[in-house]
Amino acid sequence: MLDFRVETFIELCRTKNYTQTAENLHMTQPAVSQHIKYLEEFYGCKLFNYNKKVLTITAQGEALYKYLVTMSSDANKIKNEIKEIDPNKKSLFFGATFTIGEYVIPKIVSEISNRYPDINISLVIRDTSELLEELKKGKIDFAFIEGFFEKTEFENYLFSKEKFIGICAVNNPIATEITKLDDIINERIILREEGSGTRDIFEKILYDNNLSLNNFTKKYEIENISLIKELVEQNKGISFLYERAVAKDILMRKLAMINLENFSEEREFNFVFLKNSIHKDEYKKWYDFMKEIYNS
């Protein structure tokens, strides 16, 4: 169990506001100040600077935050494991982004149930940004991430490399043409919401080609991959997704791949957890096990 003042410190790092931290933790603002003062005296350095009503974290504060976030997450996992009386009935808490959750994880969960029938699984499907927050809060042990993340904050193992492609309806004229990226901006683009891995990747591709979403005059934002594919199939627009998510649809001639000139994009699916975790060896075993299933 970590010192209760650690929770105050972590929350203040997130909010950068004493009043908001006090409200979130249901305590008084002077109490927040006392907790921070205690930690600064304990570590013998300034953790925050307050200048012109703006609170900033010092370099020492940033370093401490990274360590304490991991320690807090580890403490939550230990607490959950201690509560489990039967050592054979462990619980596994993990998350995945939407594409991975829908097209990769089912096979993995099925095999876990075969080999470890007594294990309890808690799986969350979220955007990349939300999963990273779940990791920091200790609500999940590890996550499968398809988007960009700060690799200095997280330990990661490459799970796979996946092709990222454009898709359209089979009766869309661009389905039979060699097209330039600049030429598709007249199409309606159907994309995921902000914070999703596939959207981040698509925006990065546009940026690298001196384009942006603003170049598209017609846009739909939809959270559900199946609905995106259905709308594309009905020729309501085009989209960009991982090939794994549309391979069967292309094979069945429900969708067509857009043949883009000089376009060959491949992105990583990563197995991610907090740096310096005391459970690193355990997570590595799960990574090896899940990768074996994925490759089989």
Residues 176 and 252 in one domain: yes
pLDDT, tens digit, 9 for 90 and up, residues 205-260: 999 999 999 999 999 999 999 999 999 999 999 999 999 999 999 999 999 999 99
Average pLDDT over residues 271-288: 92
Residue 291: partners with Cβ closer than 8 Å, 6 or more residues away = 159, 160, 271
Q: pTM (2 decimals)?
A: 0.68
Instruction: Write out the E strands in the chain.
Output: 48-51, 54-57, 91-96, 120-125, 142-145, 154-168, 178-179, 189-191, 219-221, 239-242, 256-257, 259-260, 265-274
**Of the candidates 75, 97, 127, which is a domain's last residue?**
75
Residues 131 and 275 in one domain: yes
By residue range, what is the domain housing residue 27?
4-75
Residues 118 and 256 in one domain: no
Kindly report the CATH number assigned to the domain that includes residue 64: 1.10.10.10
Q: Number of structural domains, the chain?
A: 3
Residue 167: partners with Cβ closer than 8 Å, 6 or more residues away = 229, 232, 238, 239, 240, 241, 246, 249, 250, 255, 256, 257, 258
- Res. 166 pLDDT band, cuts 50 70 90: very high
Residues 281 and 144 in one domain: yes
**Of the candidates 49, 75, 101, which is a domain's last residue?**
75
Judged against a pLDDT cut of 90, whether residue 278 lies above it is answered with no
Q: Helices 105-115 and 280-295 meet at what angle, rounded to 10?
A: 110
Residues 10 and 55 in one domain: yes
Mean per-residue pLDDT of the chain: 90
Residues 259 and 182 in one domain: yes
Torsion of CA 105, 111, 113, 119, to 10 degrees: -80
pLDDT, tens digit, 9 for 90 and up, residues 12-43: 998 999 999 999 999 999 889 899 988 888 88
**Of the candidates 14, 49, 75, which is a domain's last residue?**
75
The answer to whether the CB of 15 falls within 8 A of the CB of 25 is no
Residues 207 and 258 in one domain: yes
Question: Residue 147 to residues 64, 109, 204, 269: CA-CA distances in angstroms?
Answer: 26, 22, 11, 8
Closest C-alpha to 10, from 25, 28, 29, 31: 25
Residues 155 and 236 in one domain: no
Residues 220 and 276 in one domain: no
Kindly report the CATH number assigned to the domain that includes residue 101: 3.40.190.10
Residues 129 and 45 in one domain: no
pLDDT, tens digit, 9 for 90 and up, residues 66-109: 888 888 777 777 666 656 555 455 789 999 999 999 999 999 99
Residues 193 and 217 in one domain: yes
**What are phi and psi for residue 252, nearest 5 degrees?**
-85, 5
Residue 217 is encoded by which pair of tokens? 């005059």
Residue 31: partners with Cβ closer than 8 Å, 6 or more residues away = 8, 22
Cα gap 274→119, rounded to integer Å: 23
Residues 150 and 187 in one domain: no
Tokens 């304990």 locate to 42
pLDDT, tens digit, 9 for 90 and up, residues 170-184: 999 999 999 999 999
